[in-house]
Amino acid sequence: MTTQKTLKPAVELLKKNDTRFPHESDEYRQARDALLAEEIELRRHIARVAEQRRSLPPGGEITEDYRFESENGEVGLDDLFGDHDTLVVYSFMYGPQREQGCPMCTGADEFLGW
């Protein structure tokens, strides 16, 4: 992973950016450059956190034999995914008067490495 020490500071990168919008004010350019520097730093921070997540040691061992209903009857956790190494989890959040999942709360997360 590229470390913070090898990356150029965001404000230094901005000095190379000579793209300007027609008729922009100096005040706008200064504010836009400040925002862009923050966005660069945010992306770098997200990359650092993602690297930390990927380097986590294995989690706790599953010791209980959880049972699930599948289309082929009851199966254990080991049998649930067959030979697949990817798990996709869909979370559907329903309110008492909803017929479909809440569009703000419902999502799909993909967990790799199973």
Q: How does pLDDT run across 38-77, given as a tens digit for each residue? A: 999 999 999 999 999 999 998 888 788 889 888 889 988 7
Distance between CA 114 and CA 97 in Å, rounded? 36
Residues 19/49, Cβ–Cβ less than 8 Å: no
Every domain of the chain and the residues it spans: 4-54, 67-112
Question: pTM for the full model?
Answer: 0.52
The phi, psi pair for 67, rounded to 5°, reads -115, 140
Amino acid code (one letter) for 72: N
Q: What is the DSSP string of 92-108?
A: ----TT-SS--TTT-EE
Q: How does pLDDT run across 16-39, given as a tens digit for each residue? A: 888 889 999 999 999 999 999 999
